[in-house]
Amino acid sequence: MKRSAFLITVFTAVLTLVLPFVGGSGPSLFGNASSAGAVQQTGLPIFATAPIAATTASSSAPVALAYVNEAVRVAQQDARAKELKVDSEHLAQKPVPKPVVVSPADRASGTAARRAAVVAAGGSCPGPIGGSTSGAPSKVSSGGVAGTTSADLASFASTYNAIRVANCLAPVPMNHIRYDSCMETRLFWMAEDPSEDPLSAWGHMGSQRSDGVPSRGCDGNLAGGYNNTGATVAQKWWNSPAHRASLYRPTYTGSTAGVCIYFAMTHGGIPNEPYSFTRAAARWGGC
């Protein structure tokens, strides 16, 4: 009996000391999240199960996500700030400069070399000038051919000087671009040729009329055809190498103060040329 009582006493003591570490109210490796959190805060090792890992991740994820979102927000703000510094809206509205088109005539005249020489010397090419021409009398020949008008002369003078300025050549004073009755007389002589061929009598001194009437008037650079104006013949003369050299003198480096350009134009002709068929003449000379 004593032996049995002793064994019971020992067994009871063992249960009392060991039981708290086996189960019951003591902490467990399978405790809930709060107990696991308490252990984590003490710095002790955590042998997390899958649920605990999920819980830990859910508690730390918002923090990490917050940092990511803040970085993205700052980057977006920086990018937007850079965009605002660029005036893309108004830049898009600004006209795109047209490319400079250099014609064969401009190249042949040495325009590029003239501009380069002026820039190298620290200067700039001549600019447009004001003023006006003195007009023309609008004569009518004995055969009914209409002569030079003030509009013809003004149109020629304006385009002539515009071409010069565009090609770095000094303009000629507008009142130095003048109507010339002597060249007009020769144009009348051509227009009154009775031949139906408009090329009959056409040409410089030495050309012949179909009816044998001797040539009269003064010679000049010639241009003609349907629907010409003072402006179109000025351009035609610039485009032609021989006429450009004679009438524009691109190699001339002196002052244009004493230069005069003489001009005449006729409209229509005998026997059946309409008013729109023109003949024109011009020459470079002194005033």
Instruction: For residues 140-156, give the mean pLDDT.
Output: 98
* Identity of the residue numbered 201: A
The answer to whether residues 277 and 269 touch, using CB atoms and an 8 Å cutoff, is yes
Q: What is the pTM of this model?
A: 0.66
CA 281, 238, 224, 221 torsion: positive or negative? positive
pLDDT at 75: 73
Backbone φ and ψ of 137, nearest 5°: -85, -10
Per-residue model confidence as pLDDT tens digits over 259-268: 999 999 999 9
State the average pLDDT over residues 19-43: 34
Average pLDDT for 246-264: 97
pLDDT digit string (tens) for 76-96? Answer: 777 777 766 655 554 455 565
pLDDT of amino acid 2: 40
Mean pLDDT along residues 16-44: 34
Bigger pLDDT: 59 vs 175: 175
Residue 102 is predicted with a pLDDT of 74
Q: What is the DSSP string of 140-179?
A: B-TTS-B---HHHHHHHHHHHHHHHHHTT-PPPPGGGEEE
What is the structure's pLDDT at 21?
35
Nearest to 148, CA basis, from 114, 104, 182: 182
pLDDT of residue 281: 98
Domains and CATH numbers, the chain: 137-286 (3.40.33)
